[in-house]
Amino acid sequence: MKRCLGALAALALAACTSLPPGQWGAPATGPLPERAERADAPFYPQEDYQCGPAALATALGSAGLRRSPEELRDEVYLPARQGSLQPEMLASARRSGTVAYRLAPEPQALLKELAAGHPVVVLQNLRFDWAPVWHYAVAVGYDLPAQQVVLRSGREQRLVMSLDAFDRSWAKSDRWAFVALPPDRLPASADEADYVAAVVALERVAPAAAETAYRTALTAWPRNLLARIGLGNTAYRRGDRDAAEAAFRQAAADHPEAGDAWNNLAQVLHERGQDAAARDAAERAIATGGPRLPTYRRTLDLVSGR
Protein backbone atom coordinates (compact mmCIF):
# COMPACT_ATOMS: atom_id res chain seq x y z
CA MET A 1 0.00 0.00 0.00
CA LYS A 2 1.33 3.39 -0.89
CA ARG A 3 1.91 5.70 1.98
CA CYS A 4 0.14 8.94 2.46
CA LEU A 5 0.92 11.67 4.92
CA GLY A 6 -1.47 13.63 7.02
CA ALA A 7 1.00 16.30 7.94
CA LEU A 8 -1.07 18.05 10.57
CA ALA A 9 -1.87 14.81 12.33
CA ALA A 10 1.82 14.17 12.69
CA LEU A 11 2.25 17.56 14.34
CA ALA A 12 -0.71 17.24 16.62
CA LEU A 13 0.22 13.79 17.76
CA ALA A 14 3.90 14.34 18.34
CA ALA A 15 3.44 14.28 22.10
CA CYS A 16 0.52 11.88 22.33
CA THR A 17 0.38 8.30 23.38
CA SER A 18 -2.06 5.92 21.76
CA LEU A 19 -5.52 5.45 23.14
CA PRO A 20 -6.36 2.21 24.92
CA PRO A 21 -8.16 -0.47 22.85
CA GLY A 22 -11.72 0.54 22.02
CA GLN A 23 -14.99 -1.19 22.82
CA TRP A 24 -16.22 -2.94 19.70
CA GLY A 25 -19.05 -4.89 21.27
CA ALA A 26 -22.72 -4.12 20.72
CA PRO A 27 -23.64 -0.79 22.32
CA ALA A 28 -25.87 -0.52 25.36
CA THR A 29 -28.11 2.00 23.59
CA GLY A 30 -29.52 -0.40 21.00
CA PRO A 31 -28.49 -3.48 19.13
CA LEU A 32 -26.64 -3.07 15.84
CA PRO A 33 -27.08 -5.44 12.92
CA GLU A 34 -24.36 -8.08 12.92
CA ARG A 35 -23.19 -7.04 9.49
CA ALA A 36 -23.53 -3.93 7.36
CA GLU A 37 -21.85 -2.79 4.16
CA ARG A 38 -22.33 -0.08 1.55
CA ALA A 39 -21.37 -2.29 -1.37
CA ASP A 40 -22.24 0.52 -3.81
CA ALA A 41 -19.77 3.00 -2.32
CA PRO A 42 -17.65 4.05 -5.31
CA PHE A 43 -13.97 3.13 -5.48
CA TYR A 44 -11.19 5.33 -6.80
CA PRO A 45 -7.79 3.63 -6.84
CA GLN A 46 -5.33 5.96 -5.20
CA GLU A 47 -2.55 7.50 -7.24
CA ASP A 48 0.87 8.15 -5.74
CA TYR A 49 0.33 9.60 -2.29
CA GLN A 50 -3.13 10.89 -2.93
CA CYS A 51 -5.24 8.92 -0.49
CA GLY A 52 -6.95 12.13 0.66
CA PRO A 53 -8.67 13.00 -2.65
CA ALA A 54 -9.51 9.33 -3.28
CA ALA A 55 -11.10 8.86 0.15
CA LEU A 56 -13.03 12.10 -0.19
CA ALA A 57 -14.33 11.13 -3.64
CA THR A 58 -15.59 7.84 -2.21
CA ALA A 59 -17.38 9.57 0.66
CA LEU A 60 -18.93 12.25 -1.57
CA GLY A 61 -19.89 9.68 -4.21
CA SER A 62 -21.75 7.69 -1.55
CA ALA A 63 -23.60 10.89 -0.65
CA GLY A 64 -24.71 11.18 -4.28
CA LEU A 65 -22.16 13.75 -5.45
CA ARG A 66 -19.97 12.74 -8.35
CA ARG A 67 -16.62 14.38 -7.84
CA SER A 68 -13.44 12.81 -9.15
CA PRO A 69 -10.21 12.62 -7.13
CA GLU A 70 -8.55 14.71 -9.86
CA GLU A 71 -11.04 17.50 -9.22
CA LEU A 72 -10.60 17.27 -5.47
CA ARG A 73 -6.83 17.10 -5.65
CA ASP A 74 -6.48 20.86 -6.00
CA GLU A 75 -8.60 21.39 -2.91
CA VAL A 76 -6.97 18.95 -0.53
CA TYR A 77 -3.62 17.75 -1.79
CA LEU A 78 -0.35 19.41 -0.79
CA PRO A 79 2.36 18.23 -3.19
CA ALA A 80 5.14 19.47 -0.95
CA ARG A 81 3.90 17.39 1.98
CA GLN A 82 2.69 14.50 -0.16
CA GLY A 83 -0.50 14.49 1.80
CA SER A 84 -3.73 16.19 2.78
CA LEU A 85 -4.44 18.07 5.99
CA GLN A 86 -7.42 17.08 8.09
CA PRO A 87 -9.05 20.53 8.16
CA GLU A 88 -8.82 20.70 4.38
CA MET A 89 -10.55 17.36 4.04
CA LEU A 90 -13.45 18.73 6.07
CA ALA A 91 -13.44 22.05 4.21
CA SER A 92 -13.51 20.36 0.83
CA ALA A 93 -16.44 18.16 1.86
CA ARG A 94 -18.27 21.37 2.84
CA ARG A 95 -17.44 23.11 -0.42
CA SER A 96 -19.10 20.19 -2.16
CA GLY A 97 -22.28 20.93 -0.19
CA THR A 98 -22.21 18.11 2.34
CA VAL A 99 -22.23 18.40 6.12
CA ALA A 100 -18.78 17.26 7.29
CA TYR A 101 -19.39 15.77 10.71
CA ARG A 102 -16.51 14.64 12.93
CA LEU A 103 -17.37 11.45 14.79
CA ALA A 104 -16.82 10.98 18.48
CA PRO A 105 -13.48 9.13 18.71
CA GLU A 106 -14.98 5.77 19.59
CA PRO A 107 -15.76 2.51 17.77
CA GLN A 108 -19.47 2.71 18.61
CA ALA A 109 -19.85 5.92 16.61
CA LEU A 110 -18.15 4.34 13.60
CA LEU A 111 -20.31 1.20 13.78
CA LYS A 112 -23.50 3.25 14.12
CA GLU A 113 -22.70 5.23 10.97
CA LEU A 114 -21.81 2.11 9.01
CA ALA A 115 -25.03 0.42 10.16
CA ALA A 116 -26.92 3.43 8.81
CA GLY A 117 -25.15 3.09 5.47
CA HIS A 118 -22.90 6.12 5.93
CA PRO A 119 -19.31 5.46 4.79
CA VAL A 120 -16.76 6.93 7.22
CA VAL A 121 -13.46 8.59 6.27
CA VAL A 122 -10.86 7.47 8.80
CA LEU A 123 -7.27 8.52 9.43
CA GLN A 124 -4.91 5.65 10.18
CA ASN A 125 -1.28 5.41 11.11
CA LEU A 126 0.02 2.33 9.34
CA ARG A 127 3.34 2.21 11.19
CA PHE A 128 4.61 3.42 14.56
CA ASP A 129 3.99 6.44 16.74
CA TRP A 130 7.62 7.52 16.34
CA ALA A 131 7.71 7.03 12.54
CA PRO A 132 4.14 7.58 11.44
CA VAL A 133 2.76 6.73 8.02
CA TRP A 134 -0.57 8.48 7.82
CA HIS A 135 -3.27 7.18 5.56
CA TYR A 136 -6.87 8.12 4.78
CA ALA A 137 -9.26 5.29 4.00
CA VAL A 138 -13.02 4.92 3.93
CA ALA A 139 -14.73 2.36 6.15
CA VAL A 140 -17.79 1.08 4.28
CA GLY A 141 -18.87 -1.90 6.35
CA TYR A 142 -18.29 -4.31 9.23
CA ASP A 143 -18.95 -7.90 10.23
CA LEU A 144 -19.17 -8.29 14.02
CA PRO A 145 -19.28 -12.13 14.22
CA ALA A 146 -16.16 -12.27 12.01
CA GLN A 147 -14.62 -9.24 13.85
CA GLN A 148 -13.86 -7.43 10.59
CA VAL A 149 -13.99 -3.97 9.05
CA VAL A 150 -14.34 -3.42 5.29
CA LEU A 151 -12.48 -0.48 3.74
CA ARG A 152 -11.89 1.27 0.44
CA SER A 153 -8.20 1.86 0.87
CA GLY A 154 -5.36 2.80 -1.46
CA ARG A 155 -5.51 0.47 -4.45
CA GLU A 156 -7.71 -2.07 -2.69
CA GLN A 157 -11.36 -1.89 -3.53
CA ARG A 158 -12.44 -4.15 -0.68
CA LEU A 159 -9.81 -4.36 2.02
CA VAL A 160 -10.91 -6.53 4.94
CA MET A 161 -9.09 -5.83 8.20
CA SER A 162 -9.54 -7.47 11.57
CA LEU A 163 -11.15 -5.13 14.09
CA ASP A 164 -8.03 -5.42 16.24
CA ALA A 165 -5.55 -4.41 13.55
CA PHE A 166 -7.83 -1.67 12.29
CA ASP A 167 -8.41 -0.26 15.77
CA ARG A 168 -4.69 -0.17 16.49
CA SER A 169 -3.99 1.83 13.32
CA TRP A 170 -6.96 4.10 13.92
CA ALA A 171 -6.29 4.71 17.63
CA LYS A 172 -2.92 6.21 16.66
CA SER A 173 -4.77 9.13 15.04
CA ASP A 174 -6.87 9.52 18.20
CA ARG A 175 -9.61 7.83 16.14
CA TRP A 176 -10.03 10.76 13.78
CA ALA A 177 -13.04 10.15 11.51
CA PHE A 178 -15.81 11.98 9.72
CA VAL A 179 -18.86 11.43 7.58
CA ALA A 180 -19.84 13.68 4.65
CA LEU A 181 -23.61 13.54 4.35
CA PRO A 182 -26.26 15.25 2.24
CA PRO A 183 -27.83 18.08 4.27
CA ASP A 184 -31.13 16.24 4.68
CA ARG A 185 -29.49 13.28 6.41
CA LEU A 186 -28.60 13.26 10.08
CA PRO A 187 -25.52 11.26 11.12
CA ALA A 188 -26.59 8.16 13.05
CA SER A 189 -24.27 9.12 15.93
CA ALA A 190 -25.05 12.85 15.81
CA ASP A 191 -24.62 14.93 18.95
CA GLU A 192 -26.86 18.01 19.00
CA ALA A 193 -24.25 20.72 19.60
CA ASP A 194 -21.62 19.09 17.39
CA TYR A 195 -23.99 18.65 14.48
CA VAL A 196 -25.26 22.22 14.61
CA ALA A 197 -21.65 23.47 14.82
CA ALA A 198 -20.86 21.44 11.68
CA VAL A 199 -23.78 23.11 9.91
CA VAL A 200 -22.64 26.59 10.99
CA ALA A 201 -19.28 25.81 9.36
CA LEU A 202 -21.16 24.76 6.21
CA GLU A 203 -23.18 28.00 6.16
CA ARG A 204 -20.07 30.03 5.30
CA VAL A 205 -19.46 28.17 2.06
CA ALA A 206 -22.82 26.66 1.06
CA PRO A 207 -25.74 28.60 2.59
CA ALA A 208 -28.43 26.78 0.60
CA ALA A 209 -27.21 23.38 1.78
CA ALA A 210 -26.89 24.76 5.32
CA GLU A 211 -30.51 25.91 5.30
CA THR A 212 -31.62 22.34 4.57
CA ALA A 213 -29.27 21.00 7.23
CA TYR A 214 -30.64 23.45 9.84
CA ARG A 215 -34.08 22.00 9.08
CA THR A 216 -32.67 18.51 9.54
CA ALA A 217 -31.24 19.55 12.91
CA LEU A 218 -34.52 21.14 13.97
CA THR A 219 -36.48 18.02 13.09
CA ALA A 220 -34.29 16.14 15.58
CA TRP A 221 -33.95 18.96 18.16
CA PRO A 222 -36.83 21.41 17.63
CA ARG A 223 -35.69 23.79 20.38
CA ASN A 224 -32.09 24.23 19.26
CA LEU A 225 -31.50 27.97 19.31
CA LEU A 226 -28.46 28.16 17.07
CA ALA A 227 -30.08 26.02 14.36
CA ARG A 228 -33.22 28.20 14.50
CA ILE A 229 -31.17 31.39 14.16
CA GLY A 230 -29.17 29.79 11.35
CA LEU A 231 -32.39 28.87 9.56
CA GLY A 232 -33.55 32.49 9.86
CA ASN A 233 -30.22 33.86 8.65
CA THR A 234 -30.01 31.59 5.62
CA ALA A 235 -33.62 32.38 4.66
CA TYR A 236 -32.88 36.09 5.11
CA ARG A 237 -29.79 35.85 2.96
CA ARG A 238 -31.82 34.37 0.13
CA GLY A 239 -34.35 37.19 0.48
CA ASP A 240 -37.18 35.16 2.02
CA ARG A 241 -38.35 37.50 4.77
CA ASP A 242 -41.44 35.41 5.58
CA ALA A 243 -39.36 32.40 6.43
CA ALA A 244 -36.75 34.51 8.23
CA GLU A 245 -39.37 36.24 10.38
CA ALA A 246 -41.02 32.93 11.25
CA ALA A 247 -37.68 31.43 12.31
CA PHE A 248 -36.62 34.40 14.45
CA ARG A 249 -40.09 34.55 16.04
CA GLN A 250 -39.87 30.88 16.94
CA ALA A 251 -36.34 31.31 18.29
CA ALA A 252 -37.41 34.24 20.49
CA ALA A 253 -40.52 32.37 21.67
CA ASP A 254 -38.50 29.28 22.60
CA HIS A 255 -35.65 31.29 24.12
CA PRO A 256 -36.85 34.69 25.37
CA GLU A 257 -33.36 35.26 26.81
CA ALA A 258 -31.75 35.08 23.36
CA GLY A 259 -30.87 38.64 22.41
CA ASP A 260 -29.61 37.59 18.98
CA ALA A 261 -33.02 36.19 18.07
CA TRP A 262 -34.82 39.40 19.13
CA ASN A 263 -32.23 41.54 17.36
CA ASN A 264 -32.57 39.72 14.05
CA LEU A 265 -36.35 39.66 14.39
CA ALA A 266 -36.27 43.44 14.86
CA GLN A 267 -34.27 43.80 11.65
CA VAL A 268 -36.66 41.74 9.59
CA LEU A 269 -39.75 43.44 11.02
CA HIS A 270 -38.21 46.82 10.26
CA GLU A 271 -37.55 45.83 6.69
CA ARG A 272 -41.16 44.75 6.38
CA GLY A 273 -42.28 48.17 7.53
CA GLN A 274 -43.58 47.03 10.94
CA ASP A 275 -41.68 49.63 12.89
CA ALA A 276 -43.58 49.49 16.17
CA ALA A 277 -43.13 45.72 16.41
CA ALA A 278 -39.50 46.11 15.35
CA ARG A 279 -38.89 48.61 18.17
CA ASP A 280 -40.43 46.23 20.70
CA ALA A 281 -38.23 43.39 19.52
CA ALA A 282 -35.10 45.58 19.62
CA GLU A 283 -35.95 46.62 23.17
CA ARG A 284 -36.35 42.98 24.16
CA ALA A 285 -32.89 42.34 22.69
CA ILE A 286 -31.37 45.18 24.70
CA ALA A 287 -33.04 43.91 27.87
CA THR A 288 -31.19 40.61 27.53
CA GLY A 289 -27.82 42.39 27.67
CA GLY A 290 -24.88 40.16 26.76
CA PRO A 291 -21.73 40.78 24.76
CA ARG A 292 -23.54 42.08 21.67
CA LEU A 293 -25.44 44.82 23.46
CA PRO A 294 -23.84 47.51 21.23
CA THR A 295 -25.24 45.76 18.16
CA TYR A 296 -28.70 45.61 19.72
CA ARG A 297 -28.49 49.34 20.50
CA ARG A 298 -27.57 50.11 16.90
CA THR A 299 -30.53 48.03 15.79
CA LEU A 300 -32.86 50.03 18.03
CA ASP A 301 -31.44 53.28 16.62
CA LEU A 302 -31.94 51.99 13.12
CA VAL A 303 -35.50 50.77 13.54
CA SER A 304 -36.46 53.95 15.44
CA GLY A 305 -35.15 55.98 12.53
CA ARG A 306 -32.56 57.68 14.74
Partner 1 sequence: MSNGHLSHKKEKIMKKSALRLVSTSLLALAVGFQAPIVRAEMVTTPDAATHNTEDADRAKVLQFMEQANVKERLQAMGVDGLAATERVAALDQQEIHALAQRIDSMPAGGAISTMEWILIVMIAILVVVAL
Q: Which residues bind partner 1 (CB under 8 A)?
A: 196-197, 200, 203-204, 225-226, 229-230, 233-234, 236, 260, 263-264, 267, 270-273, 290-292, 295, 298-299, 302
Q: Please, what sign has the CA dihedral across residues 148, 168, 139, 79?
A: negative
Task: Mark residue 100 as left, alpha or beta (left: phi above 0; alpha: psi -120 to 50; beta: remaining).
Answer: beta
Q: DSSP state, 170? A: H
Residue 156 CB contacts under 8 Å (≥ 6 apart), including other chains = 1
Smallest distance from partner 1 to CB 102, Å: 14
Rounded-to-integer distance, Cα 295 and Cα 24, Å: 50
Contact 19, 105 (CB under 8 A): yes
- Coil, strand or helix at 180: strand
Residue 274: Cβ within 10 Å count: 16
Cα–Cα distances (Å) from 296 to 213, 235, 258, 260, in that order, read: 28, 21, 12, 8
d(CA 79, CA 83): 7
- Terminal Cα distance for the chain, rounded: 68
* Least separation in angstroms between CB 182 and partner 1: 20
162: β partners: 148
Q: Cβ(120)–Cβ(100) under 8 Å? A: no
Q: At what angle do helices 225-237 and 259-271 cross, to 10 degrees?
A: 20
Beta strand 134-143 with 177-181: parallel, antiparallel or unpaired?
unpaired
Asked if 186 and 194 touch (Cβ cutoff 8 Å), the reply is no
Q: In terms of CB distance, is 166 or 296 closer to partner 1? A: 296
Q: Minimum CB separation from partner 1 for residue 303, in Å? A: 9
Q: How far is the CB of 38 from partner 1 (least distance, A)?
A: 32
**Shortest Å distance, C-beta 229 to partner 1:** 5
- Backbone φ and ψ for 130, nearest 5 degrees, come out as -90, -10
